[in-house]
Structure 1
């Protein structure tokens, strides 16, 4: 009886190891880098990796220039691996690449409207290109980073299938790769007509509508696991998406002395300033102070926590943030149930 039970346990263990070893597009048993190990360790990332592998195969069979796509994939893998084991960074890389491959099979034309594949929730750009003659294209691009914006138009010269624009210290290169368009920029934001932090570089796909990727708290790094992400959904309700959209840039702050093991991230957005602060503890407790709007359109500060003893008071770190922000955020705090 014991031997039978032991054999049964060994079979189950072998099956579990087999599932783990093939949880992604590569063999997890031979995963060596931080990135590969992180993908194998996270079910969510492993699923994205499998999705990408499937889309890669189908896209490669349909694009007019498979070799260019292979070269581009190698460049993307370098960008992905630069994330190391940072889950949020890896998730964003996969979501952006999935969107890119979805559009790569479209026929390329210089007469098109293009949308930037956004690297975050506060970045957007729309580009219009028109072929003027055999040697030139005209372009008009509008971009935004938070509340800051930029606009540039001009005439670019076609050479060897690419387009090049240079004016003063600003230079843009337009490089088609099958059905998508990559833009690289040389010159500072202001050199190219952009507000602070506004750049035009990135990958664009042909679309009349701005792209909306499935960015969430996992993509931003404010939730570490799908369970924590769902917990924040339940806690914040309608303000969950508000927090995602207002996250902008995150800055690590000092932990709260009255919550041992806490981690604090302050949020700010270009042109808007501070938008909120999020604190988490290792036991999946969260504290959120968020700039939002009431039903009349007036700004408010809403405070959420899933830690019952803190429902009616702010932890030290959030209170300190609130005090620092009073000069330009003189807002009452609504303690949410």
Structure 2
């Protein structure tokens, strides 16, 4: 064997004994907390970290206050690290942070319309601020989470780079940072005029139109790998978007006795859980099972069952059956076995 082939054989042998370290904006060999370790172990999330690192390098020189942006980045890293091993949380944090950096270099003004950077597919909020005098701004804010909404208006007092509002049990703080607006909210649920699960707190960017993030089931952490995502797209076709629209809230479901190696998640849209919901089970080998609520031509709710596992085409695994029964309530809920 030629010398160069032997040399490469040694290198490949060494690599085969070395843990896989995916590219990221930090050194994965010294990952020091659960979040960093989770990022390094997941190629998709690591790629988001790479993109954010590149965007950070191009954005920092363009903002009006680089010191403030550096401090903001440190706070964001703390927030990201609170996700720990939660891949869904980590991926959303990265996508939201990149959207914020896209707007950070724009000049700040209190006379603007602001859109909240959405956490998911069914949340949105808009606030309009206008300066009344040297120490006051008027604001009008509205928000929605699925089928629930809320709105309020008032006058806030400016103190430095922030404006404060207090009314009844509701407290709002509007903070300016480069081209971004942060809204903090205090008060119990409903104290600020919002429905169940509706809050105004979040990061906003100056825009007349709602902010869109290209969320899909992979970026939301519903699916872990591009292969799973592609398999589900092939299986569901147009209903992939239906499932995406129904993924406003997600919780881990009970384990399946029928598919012991399956991972189960339940989804619903707040305020619309009886008509916009789904349950998905994933298993190694890109095996998928799904029951999804849809509307028929008469606007009646029915369920569709999908799987790409041949032996399960005519029968529904236990946890999906139980979910379907739970969703029927007092009326029969038709279940269609999809091809």
Q: Do the two structures share a fold, i.e. TM-score over 0.5?
A: yes
Q: Is there any run of 5+ residues in structure 1 with no aligned partner, and where?
A: none
Deviation string, structure 1 residues 140-185 (Cα, Å, up to 9, x no partner)? 1110111110001111111112111000110000001100100000
Q: Is the 8 A contact 1:248 1:268 kept in 2?
A: yes
Partner of 1:172: 172
Q: Distance in 2 between matches of 1:154 and 1:17?
A: 63
Query: Partner residue of 1:325?
Result: 327
Q: How does 1:1-337 map to 2 (within 5 A)?
A: 1=1, 4-12=4-12, 23-274=23-274, 275-295=277-297, 297-327=299-329, 330-337=332-339
Please give the alpha-carbon distance, in whole angstroms, between the structure 2 residues aligned to 1:176 and 1:329. Answer: 51
CA–CA distance in 2 between the matches of 1:181 and 1:86?
27
Q: Measured at CA, do residues 167 and 310 of structure 1 come closer, stay the same or move farther in structure 2, by a change above 3 Å?
A: same
| 329 and 121 in structure 1: CA distance in 2 versus 1, 3 angstrom threshold | farther
**Cα deviation digits, residues 290-311 of structure 1 (max 9, x gap):** 1112355443311111111111
TM-score by length of 1: 0.93
1 CA distance for matches of 2:18 and 2:27?
Answer: 10
Does the residue aligned with 1:83 lie in a helix, a strand or coil? coil
**Is contact 1:286-1:306 (8 Å) kept?**
yes
Which whole-Å CA distance do the structure 2 matches of 1:204 and 1:73 have between them? Answer: 16
CA distance in 1, matches of 2:205, 2:306: 38
| Residues 63 and 178, structure 2, Cα contact 8 Å, conserved in 1 | yes
On the 8 A contact 2:107/2:178 being kept in 1, the answer is yes
**2:22 and 2:43 in contact (8 A); partners too:** no
Instruction: Specify the SS of the correspondent of 1:165.
Output: strand
Counterparts of 1:211 and 1:314, CA distance in 2: 39
Q: Could you report, residue by residue, the CA deviation over 1:208-254 in whole angstroms, capped at 9, with x for unpaired residues?
A: 11122122222333211111111111111111121112112222222
Describe the SS at the equivalent of 1:230. Answer: helix
How much does 1:25 deviate? 1.2
Q: Do the aligned partners of residues 328 and 58 (structure 1) sit closer, same or farther apart at CA in structure 2, a change above 3 Å counting?
A: farther
SS in 2 for 1:264: strand
Query: Aligned equivalents of 2:207 and 2:338: distance in 1?
Result: 40
**What is the Cα-based RMSD across aligned positions, in Å?**
2.2
Judge conservation of contact 1:121–1:244 (CA < 8 Å) in 2.
yes
Aligned length: 337
User: Helix, strand or coil: the match of 1:211?
Assistant: coil
Does the C-alpha gap of structure 1 residues 212 and 257 become closer, same or farther in structure 2, counting only changes over 3 Å?
same
Structure 2: gaps spanning 5 or more residues: none
Paired residues of 1:263 and 1:280 also in contact (CA < 8 A): yes
289-298 vs 71-80, which deviates more? 289-298
TM-score (norm 2): 0.93
Structure 1 114/17 Cα, relative in aligned 2: closer, same or farther at 3 Å? Answer: farther
User: Equivalents in 2 of 1:145, 1:179: separation in Å?
Assistant: 25
Q: 1:179 to 1:316 in 2, by over 3 A?
A: same
Alpha-carbon shift at residue 20 of structure 1 (Å) = 6.2
Q: Which runs of 4+ in 1 moved over 3 A?
A: 2-6, 11-22, 294-298
